[in-house]
Chains A and B, each alone.
Chain A
């Protein structure tokens, strides 16, 4: 009876340790590949994880692929888990590369461009005119701290309203910003051109209810890189080569990109 209680306590402790140190066990077995791309038209992270894992099964090393929907989660886990590979927005890496010892390997390419633009859209009123209340709410994917400044660099304020009157609502995905604007949850949204195009195909009703106010300056496409000290350069090079060789695979459609280009920091 005494031994049984001891065994039971041991099990509880083991379970607690798993809760407190997430990914600890998985990290021991292989390398981690963290993904965060809120502007991607691909919203189905489950399918993304599944496809990527299938793809990475063909790689020489065991890699655990983990997509993130929220910047805060992604950022926290990158810092705590120190994954081997990271696929993240360019602005994130630009801001945190030194801190996390990030080294870029490849930049994603879409429509033969390694940059994309975001559109500022607003919901049309009943008279097809844009509602412009004094205090606007704007939905957009997170740009991390200093979103307004970054937003300011992306938009031409003359075409719209003063940024100080904006209330920014951070949405997990770019598509959520479209939904938020189209469904009247916010006044304006900053969304990628690709998502607008995609939604025009799958739900023109939503897009028809929106009007483009302005267009951002080009934004660099997300970047794939590795964390120094977690993998060797050879391993990173091997992954890079593997990803380049996989440009024709179906996973590229899942990633909603067309290919890779070399990226120098």
Chain B
């Protein structure tokens, strides 16, 4: 897990603020969703309760009406048996007068005539409206087999009765003359009262729902407000703590190992533990760093000491070289002088063998002189002060090639120099270096009929560098490490002249400029010498 997390750059991960804000928003949305769900359930509950209430009111009305009509039917039975129509009519009138919900009461005989009605002028009429006919039909459809004691009740309700104020409910019951089914009694019950009760009850329900809704909204608002404030407070404290930790970590990571996380305002135990651990880690790191600093200082001291010693040794060695080289010149000049005297003045006294030996002595002395000169030149390079300026390497290369071409005009050499290769360095030293590199190329292409020398600029391993390339003899790369050593030669003197000082000189000059030099080659396929300057 730890390794995996390292793969993601910290900058691409979301901030903890995003998580905290998202979490708070998610909680808010969750609360609202739950509230919505809760409210829906409450509404459903109230709606079902309200519906039950309405049904209950309606049923109560039916029960009351049925009870009343049954009682009237009993009286009607008595009245009809005793021809007491006036009593029946009076009863109906009193009932309808006494109960505003009862709009009318009628007794229809089985002959199909109104025999009693709360309005006496209605007595004697024939059934002439749908309700009368519907009620009369019940006589054959529902009550035909009824007995006196059955007290059957039927309701004639039109659809949508509860929706309009003017709807009526007809409560119908059979009327007997003795034991004989004689007719029907029905009363028209106005549902206006029921409707008013329902409207009143509905209003009460709505008021109750509104009250609950107001209460709920108020509580929810207070809850959300307090929740938001608490959330804001906690989030701010958390973010402050996180920022505090973050600042501390950045401070320490920037190198201030003395920095310690404050324990104040960290808010929670985990942050405290983190800060404690971090401070302990910073302390350990600081101790380690201090120890490392000690080691570094000691090392630097030792390096400096060694450098001083080395410089002193180098100086002594150079002085020694110089003095040796210089001191060797005196006897060498004696050897050269006396061998020249011998060659000129005792030429005729020496035989061929003696003359041959004398020539060899003189050649060796001459070669030794060259060696001493090269050694002197090499030792001077280390001591010479550098004069840094802008140097046109292209110009230096062209000058060197021109001189070489003048010295050996018979050679077929094609050379190519990239223009305007400007660097910062010591013009004289860089000239010596280029003389050696181009001179080597000139020398090792001497056996080529068509020699080619190129000086240019290239990019190696992402760094800009300069090269001298030839198509000469090349060398074996196995000995490349010896290439830049003094007096190291990869070819026989009989094949190619040289002292083995040239490339050592090049290496010393380039190193003095803070650069590097290397070569690539293949035997008989030419060589390329690269040097890089800062």
Contact = CB atoms under 8 A, between A and B. Distances in A.
Interface of A: 43-44, 46, 69, 139, 169-173, 175-177, 179-180, 182-186, 199, 202-203, 205-206, 209
9 contacts: A172-B82, A172-B84, A176-B83, A176-B86, A203-B121, A203-B124, A205-B123, A205-B125, A206-B123
Q: 8 tightest CB-CB pairs across the interface, nearest first? A: A179-B85, A43-B86, A171-B83, A175-B86, A203-B121, A206-B124, A173-B86, A205-B124
A40 to B, nearest CB: 10
B109 A183 contact: yes
A202 B121 contact: yes
Contacts of A182: 123-124
A43 B89 contact: yes
A169 B83 contact: yes
B83 A69 contact: no
Nearest to A178: B85
B50 interface: no
B529 interface: no
B170 interface: no
Given A43-B90, A69-B87, A179 B123 contact: yes
Contacts of B111: 184
Nearest to B177: A185
A44 B410 CA distance: 166
Contact of B83 (A43, A180, A202): A180
Interface-central residue, A171, A179, A199, by most chain B CB under 10 Å: A179
Interface class of chain A by DSSP? mixed
Nearest to B115: A183
A46 B83 contact: no
Given A170-B83, A179-B85, 14 more contacts: A43-B87, A46-B90, A172-B86, A173-B86, A173-B87, A176-B86, A176-B87, A179-B115, A179-B123, A183-B109, A183-B123, A185-B115, A202-B121, A206-B123
A176 B120 contact: no
B94 A46 contact: yes
Given A183-B109, A183-B115, A184-B113, A205 B82 contact: no
A177 B83 CA distance: 8
A174 to B, nearest CB: 8
Nearest to B109: A183
A183 B113 CA distance: 7
A100 B484 CA distance: 173
Interface string B284-302: 0000000000000000000
A20 B90 CA distance: 29
Contacts of B90: 43-44, 46
Nearest to B94: A46
Nearest to B122: A203
A173 B85 CA distance: 9
A184 B82 CA distance: 15
A171 B124 contact: no
Contacts of B123: 179, 182-183, 203, 205-206
Interface-central residue, B94, B113, B115, B125, by most chain A CB under 10 Å: B115
Contacts of A203: 120-124
Contacts of A180: 83, 85
Interface residues of B, number: 20
Contact of A176 (B85, B124, B125): B85
Given A43-B90, A183-B115, A139 B83 contact: yes
A208 B120 CA distance: 15
Contacts of B109: 183
A69 B78 CA distance: 13
Interface-central residue, B87, B111, B125, by most chain A CB under 10 Å: B87
A175 B121 contact: no
Contacts of A183: 85, 109, 113, 115, 123-124
Interface-central residue, B84, B109, B123, B124, by most chain A CB under 10 Å: B124
A203 B122 CA distance: 7
A130 B84 CA distance: 24
Contacts of A175: 85-86
A171 B476 CA distance: 157
Interface in B47-90: 82-87, 89-90
A184 B123 CA distance: 12
Nearest to A205: B124
B314 to A, nearest CB: 138
A172 B89 contact: no
Contacts of B84: 69, 171-173, 176
A173 B122 CA distance: 19
Contacts of A169: 83
Interface string B391-430: 0000000000000000000000000000000000000000
Contacts of B83: 139, 169-172, 176-177, 179-180, 185-186
A172 B87 contact: yes
Contacts of A46: 90, 94
Contact of B121 (A44, A172, A179, A205): A205
Nearest to A185: B83
Contacts of A205: 121, 123-125
A46 B1 CA distance: 101
A202 B120 contact: yes
A103 to B, nearest CB: 31
A170 B328 CA distance: 184
Contacts of B125: 205
Nearest to A175: B86
A33 B84 CA distance: 24
Interface-central residue, B85, B89, B93, by most chain A CB under 10 Å: B85
Nearest to B111: A184
A176 B94 CA distance: 17
Nearest to A180: B83
Contacts of A69: 84, 87
A135 B212 CA distance: 77
Nearest to B83: A171
Nearest to B93: A44
A50 to B, nearest CB: 12
Contacts of B82: 171-172
A189 B212 CA distance: 70
B124 A209 contact: yes
Interface string B92-135: 01100000000000000101010100001111110000000000
A139 B83 CA distance: 9
A209 B114 CA distance: 14
A244 to B, nearest CB: 29
B233 to A, nearest CB: 72
Contacts of B89: 43, 179
Interface-central residue, B83, B87, B109, B111, by most chain A CB under 10 Å: B83
A180 B87 CA distance: 13
Interface-central residue, B82, B86, B113, by most chain A CB under 10 Å: B86
A243 to B, nearest CB: 25
A44 B121 CA distance: 16
A113 to B, nearest CB: 24
